Amino acid sequence: MDTFSHIVIGFGIGALAQIDPAVSSNQTLSQAVMLGVVIGSNAPDFDIIYRLKGKGSYFRNHRGLSHSLPALPLWGLLVSGLLSPFFPASGFLPLFLWTFLAVILHVFFDLFNVHGTQILLPFSQKWISFDAIPLLDPYILTLHFLGFGLLFFYQAGIIFLIIYVFIFLYLAVRTLSALLTKRHLQQHFIRADRIKLIPRITLFKWDIFIETREDFLFGVYSDNTLDIEHTLSKNIDFPVLVSESTNDQSVSDFLASTSFAYPFVAVRKNGYFVYWKDLRFRTKKFFPSLAILFISSDFKRKNSYIGKVSSLKQYKKVLRSLTNSSSSIK
């Protein structure tokens, strides 16, 4: 989920904590818990510190160890441990438990969108994603804001206990819908290597990515109907250039962040552009999340870019910079 959603959920967990008599009867503890859960609800995303080492480092490490099972109690202990000295009249155990819950829910919600997390690190590098909700889910946010409005009339803990029951039911419905949709597609695309669902904001409507031995199919699934919008061939031009591109640090960082990247090569007068595009994210035929390696025609100069390109204007600017620059763009 996005940062705004995690902040909102943090305040929701803080309101839920009022159902705990130890919290509701102690104003100091209540304040500590509210601060702890808001920080804890965002703590796994503190891996943004990797940006100090460059965009590639962030791509490689985001939602990795910081979102893994061993890290969850450590985040809870770190946040509550840092806050505890400022609230000496509060009890450490309830502060830790509620902060720990906020950390758990951060990773829990992240598992349900298309990005997923590497929650099994360091035991497995596999990305786990349930493909059930969009990155920014208006239904979850609306339920929280409804709960905040009701705080003026009812007890906070009870309100948000009900709110979270509805949210978990909502997640269950969307996850079941995703499973049934994928099963339905698998029955029709028996030879597909992979089928990936990208949840839309609209309920029971998905962007679909299907990989076969020969090509990629992209479409929209709704009402038990799949509309194929376009296809891409898996034929790779200049396979040697593609293979060598993986030695570039930016490309390597990008490939560590996704298992859905695929290479495309474009030939220009002044050299070659090797594109690694994340096929999960697209706007019509445009894939905004990518790594680009420029190789000059004399093979003496290589420049790379990693990130998201939000417009055609930005895309052209990146290509010009790669062509003219003497070093990689971070």
Instruction: Quote the DSSP letter at residue 115.
Output: S
What is the per-residue pLDDT across 205-231, written as a single tens digit (0 to 9) for each?
999 999 999 999 999 999 889 999 999
Q: What is the pLDDT of residue 28?
A: 92
Helix (H, G, I), strand (E, B) or coil at 201: coil
What is the per-residue pLDDT across 286-318, written as a single tens digit (0 to 9) for each?
899 999 999 998 888 899 999 999 888 899 899
Q: How far apart are CA 233 and CA 66, in angstroms?
A: 36
What is the per-residue pLDDT across 118-136, written as a single tens digit (0 to 9) for each?
999 999 999 999 999 999 9
pTM check: above 0.75: yes
Q: What is the pLDDT of residue 329?
A: 45
C-beta of residue 254 within 8 angstroms of C-beta of residue 290: yes
Q: What sign does the dihedral 308-312-314-317 (CA atoms) show?
A: positive
The confidence band for 326, taking pLDDT boundaries of 50, 70 and 90, is low
CA distances from 283 to 137, 138, 148, 185, 264 (A): 19, 20, 35, 22, 17
C-beta of residue 304 within 8 angstroms of C-beta of residue 293: yes
The confidence band for 330, taking pLDDT boundaries of 50, 70 and 90, is very low
| Backbone phi, psi, residue 299, to 5° | 65, 20
What is the per-residue pLDDT across 77-125, written as a single tens digit (0 to 9) for each?
999 999 999 988 778 999 999 999 999 999 999 999 999 999 999 999 9
Q: What sign does the dihedral 61-67-71-74 (CA atoms) show?
A: positive
What is the per-residue pLDDT across 153-199, written as a single tens digit (0 to 9) for each?
999 999 999 999 999 999 999 999 999 999 999 999 998 999 999 99
Q: How far apart are CA 76 and CA 61, in angstroms?
A: 20
C-beta of residue 226 within 8 angstroms of C-beta of residue 248: no
Q: What is the pLDDT of residue 269?
A: 86
> Which amino acid is residue 312, in one-letter code?
L
End-to-end CA separation in angstroms for the chain: 24
Q: What sign does the dihedral 59-62-63-64 (CA atoms) show?
A: positive
Q: How far apart are CA 7 and CA 148, in angstroms?
A: 13
CA distances from 271 to 274, 315, 323 (A): 10, 17, 8
Q: Which token pair is 11?
A: 């305040």
Q: Helices (DSSP H) in 111-155: which residue ranges?
A: 138-150
With CA atoms as reference, report the closest residue to 198 among 269, 262, 278.
278
Please, what is the average pLDDT of the chain?
Answer: 92
Complete edge-to-edge strand list for the sheet that includes strand 225-233: 194-199, 205-211, 215-222, 225-233
What is the per-residue pLDDT across 43-83, written as a single tens digit (0 to 9) for each?
999 999 999 999 999 999 999 999 999 999 999 999 999 99
Q: How far apart are CA 82 and CA 87, in angstroms?
A: 10
